[in-house]
Each structure stands twice: as structure tokens, then as C-alpha cells.
């Protein structure tokens, strides 16, 4: 289960070395914003070697490549895909056509290196056009397992101020969740960028969860634990979900179409939420 995704700069060997020891479910090794143009080549090689030699046990590895409007993205894929990362994150995706361009080149690289398993995609949507095309993007390829909202670039594109409260991205958050769920994939919220404000982080993460996000990205290791906690089912939620599944079984055995639990009728949506809670708990094992 992917709750937290931690960004790590691709040009920092020390941070790459310890990336899998920080508690995040996924680490995003960044070749884009964290790396200056003159360091792109060296960062690409550093990340390639990290994938080749470090293993990254216990967490998923995602590589954020450069956007397709640069001269770097194909070189990124040439170096990285043969190392078989779990996912590729293309930034500034604006349309399904962008995904087709990336997917076609990924296919070329995979065929060249006889890679049978296709690497998955998690598009980073961070423009007004991308948000408006969120469902088109989410459903444009079988490689896409999730979409991810980038709030900083989005608010720059919207020409508005980025705030802790996040009112300016409320519509975009809702649109992203709706698009992802309609496409049957996961959806991830933008990072909370104030490293010192842990209370604000938790509030922001809880709000994202209430909207339907699967998890949240982090820019600091200090944020990982709180995000993991917020996006994990609580013991109370797990116990209630077990009660729901038990009472539904009783209803079936008694031939009843409806039954109550704690004074509330148990209907199909409640049963589905209970099933999702128990699946999440099972996926996490004893981690929560």
C-alpha cells in the first residue's frame, strides 16, 4: 500500500544512499526540479547507479524524469528504464497525447533492452490544462497506476498565491480525485511545503484523505510518519469494518436484505468502505 511518497534529489548521493531507510512507502528520485541543467547528466548517472547497486528494499522506487518540452527526458529514460524502476513520473503532463508520446518512447527503450515487464506511470499534473484534462490523462494508458497533483507549479499557472489552507487548489483536488476514481486508479496529493509546521501538515493530510486521496507526497523525511498515520486505517476503523462484514454475513444467513449495526442500517456503500478498510489493513500488516 502506497500512502507516502518522499521526494529525494537525484544529485545528492548521501540522500540517495539512505532513501529506503526513512519510512516512506515510495521514494521519488528526482531528476527534474531538484537538479540544475548543468547537473542533469551527472544526476542521471547517479540515480542509475543507485538503482543498480542499492536495491532499495522495502519501498517502491519512482523516478521523476524531465518534462517532454525539454531535451532531457529521453536521456533520462535511456539511462533509467534498463534499471527497471517501479514507476516513472513524467511532470507537467497536460493531455493524454503527452502520455502517448512518453509511452511510445518507453516502448522503444524496453524493446531495445529486451525488457518484458512494462514500467508503470504516475503522471504529475501541475497545470490548469492538465487538471481540466485529468480524466483523459488518467485513462490514456494501461501503464498509468495513479495520478499526482502538483500544487506549486499549478498555482503559478493559475496566477494565484499558494497558501497553507489550500483554498486555491480545492477545485483541482476534487477534480483529480474524481478523474482518478472514474478511471479506476489511485490519486496522490501535493506536498505540504512548510517543513516546520507539523500540525499544519497533519491537518492538510487529513483534509486530503477526506476528499478521497490515496496518499500524499512529502518533501521532508520529517513528514513521512504523520502522512503514513493519516492514510492508515485506525484500530477503531478496522474493528468497525470487521463488525460490518460480520453482520452482513448474519443478514445473508437469515435471508435478510437489510440489517442494522449500532442503530444504523448497513447498506452497500458502508459494506464497500468496510471492505476497503480491511484490504488496507491487510496490505499494511502490522505497520500501522
- Same domain membership, residue 261 and residue 227: no
The per-residue b/e assignment along 24-58, b for 16 or more CB within 10 angstroms, e otherwise, is bbbbbbbbbebbeeeebeebbebbbebbeeeebee
pLDDT in tens, the chain (288 residues): 899 999 999 999 999 998 989 999 999 999 999 999 999 999 999 999 999 999 888 899 999 999 999 999 999 999 999 999 999 999 999 999 999 999 999 999 999 999 999 999 999 999 999 999 999 999 999 999 999 999 999 999 999 999 999 999 999 999 999 999 999 999 999 999 999 999 999 999 999 999 999 999 999 999 999 999 999 988 888 888 898 888 888 888 888 777 888 878 888 888 888 888 898 888 887 544
Q: What is the DSSP letter of 56?
A: -
pLDDT value, residue 276 = 86
- Same domain membership, residue 210 and residue 80: yes
- Same domain membership, residue 243 and residue 222: no
- Same domain membership, residue 126 and residue 203: yes
- Same domain membership, residue 153 and residue 10: yes
Among 215, 231, 247, residue at a domain's last position? 231
- Same domain membership, residue 250 and residue 127: no
The number of folded domains in the chain is 2
Q: At what angle do helices 73-80 and 96-112 cross, to 10 degrees?
A: 40
- Same domain membership, residue 75 and residue 8: yes
pLDDT value, residue 283 = 80
State yes or no: 222 annotated in a binding site.
no
| Beta bridge mates, 187 | 147
State yes or no: 64 annotated in a binding site.
yes
- Same domain membership, residue 256 and residue 201: no
pTM of the shown model: 0.89
- Same domain membership, residue 83 and residue 176: yes
pLDDT value, residue 86 = 96
- Please report which residue ranges of 126-260 form alpha helices under DSSP H: 128-132, 134-138, 151-158, 170-183, 198-211, 224-230, 235-254
- Same domain membership, residue 192 and residue 259: no
- Same domain membership, residue 173 and residue 42: yes
pLDDT value, residue 255 = 81
State yes or no: 175 annotated in a binding site.
no
Amino acid at each position: 500500500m502506497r500512502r507516502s511518497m518522499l521526494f529525494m534529489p537525484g544529485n545528492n548521493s548521501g540522500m540517495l544512499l539512505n532513501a529506503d531507510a526513512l519510512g516512506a512507502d515510495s521514494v521519488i528520485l528526482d531528476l527534474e526540479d531538484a537538479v540544475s541543467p548543468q547537473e542533469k547528466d551527472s544526476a542521471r548517472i547517479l540515480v542509475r547507479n543507485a538503482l543498480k547497486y542499492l536495491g532499495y528494499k522495502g519501498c517502491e522506487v519512482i523516478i521523476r524524469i524531465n518534462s517532454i518540452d525539454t531535451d532531457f527526458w529521453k536521456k533520462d529514460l535511456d539511462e533509467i528504464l534498463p534499471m527497471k524502476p517501479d514507476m516513472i513520473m513524467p511532470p507537467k503532463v497536460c493531455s493524454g497525447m503527452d502520455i502517448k508520446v512518453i509511452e511510445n518512447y518507453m516502448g522503444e527503450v524496453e524493446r531495445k533492452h529486451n525488457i518484458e515487464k512494462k514500467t508503470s506511470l504516475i503522471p504529475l499534473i501541475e497545470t490548469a490544462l492538465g487538471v481540466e484534462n485529468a480524466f483523459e490523462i488518467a485513462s490514456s494508458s494501461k501503464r498509468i497506476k495513479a495520478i499526482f497533483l502538483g500544487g506549486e507549479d499549478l498555482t503559478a499557472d493559475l496566477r494565484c498565491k499558494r497558501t497553507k489552507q489550500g483554498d486555491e487548489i480545492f477545485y483541482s483536488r476534487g477534480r483529480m480525485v474524481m478523474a482518478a476514481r472514474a478511471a479506476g486508479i489511485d490519486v496522490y496529493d501535493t506536498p505540504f511545503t512548510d517543513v516546520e509546521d507539523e500540525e499544519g501538515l497533519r491537518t492538510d493530510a487529513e483534509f486530503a484523505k477526506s476528499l478521497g486521496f490515496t496518499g500524499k507526497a512529502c518533501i521532508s523525511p520529517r513528514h513521512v510518519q504523520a502522512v503514513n498515520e493519516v492514510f492508515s486505517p485506525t484500530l477503531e476503523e478496522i474493528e468497525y469494518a470487521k463488525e460490518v462484514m460480520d453482520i452482513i454475513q448474519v443478514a445473508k444467513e437469515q435471508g435478510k436484505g437489510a440489517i442494522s449495526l449500532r442503530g444504523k442500517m448497513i447498506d452497500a456503500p458502508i459494506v464497500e468502505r468496510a471492505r476497503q478498510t480491511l484490504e488496507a489493513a491487510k496490505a499494511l500488516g502490522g505497520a500501522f
